[in-house]
Amino acid sequence: MMWQLNNRPAAIAVIAASLCSCTGSTERTITAEPISGAPPIAYRAIEDNIQHDTLLIQTTFDLGDGSFIMVASNIDPSFEGIRLYRYRLTADSSVSMLAISPPAYDSWTMLPTFFGADSMRTDALWLLANFGERESWGQKLLWMDGAFTDHGFMDVALPERVLEDDTLQLKRRNIAPLMRWSERNDTTFFSFACDSVYLYDDQDGGYDQIVPANSVHFTWTKSEGLALWMNGSKRPVKVPA
């Protein structure tokens, strides 16, 4: 047995609207100040509509054009971990697989956030895939058209102070819902609609910093790829070979 339609009931994967599912008091860094750029496209999370012998499906998104993206890992744990799969259900009730992303490697999550100029145009979208286990490790930047193309990693998370057992803890959350997308000429911009950003790597020898969100943004160009800008200084981000 390979791909087949899933006709049994399945629980809808819950995507929390809040940035924290933990208990206790929290201190978030969301700001009411508007910034330029479009927010993510909110595609609907649905029940699993297919099943496979060897895959464990976490979440499925309906892109509204007859195609779907699911987040799935191998039932038997492997280093390659989790991937994104884009597919379409055909008229004869079979599954047409359209594209498979690079793996997340040793991560438990690869939750995608979608960006584009028009939610109805699904032939070309930017995806930010949140990696991590209990907390965010950062965002993989993917371009999706006929395939998934890896354009590098954004070493950023949303810092949040959480009171646990009377102790204030720093948690690193998925920042993608607070990112904003825009394009000018041949440059794509990703900026942050929050007060501060947790920066794992500033691409200049600095690690594990909390910095003002308005001091950093990312750009992507076809000629130069992904770059981090910090206080006006451009720092190219290396893409794994």
Instruction: List pLDDT tens digits, range 23-52.
Output: 334 454 444 344 679 999 999 999 998 888
CA distances from 51 to 15, 89, 134, 141, 170 (A): 20, 12, 26, 27, 38
- Contact criterion met (CB below 8 Å) for 54 and 187: no
Which residues, in sequence order, are bridge partners of residue 158?
173
The CA-CA-CA angle for residues 59, 102, 156, to 5°, reads 75
User: Is the per-residue pLDDT at 7 higher than 50?
Assistant: yes
Length of the chain: 241
**Rounded CA gap, 178 and 39, in Å?**
7
Is pTM beyond 0.75? Reply is yes
User: Is the per-residue pLDDT at 176 higher than 80?
Assistant: yes
**Rounded CA gap, 82 and 201, in Å?**
23
For the chain, the first-to-last Cα distance in angstroms comes to 34
Q: What is the structure's pLDDT at 15?
A: 34
- To which residue do tokens 């949140």 refer? 130
- Contact criterion met (CB below 8 Å) for 34 and 128: no
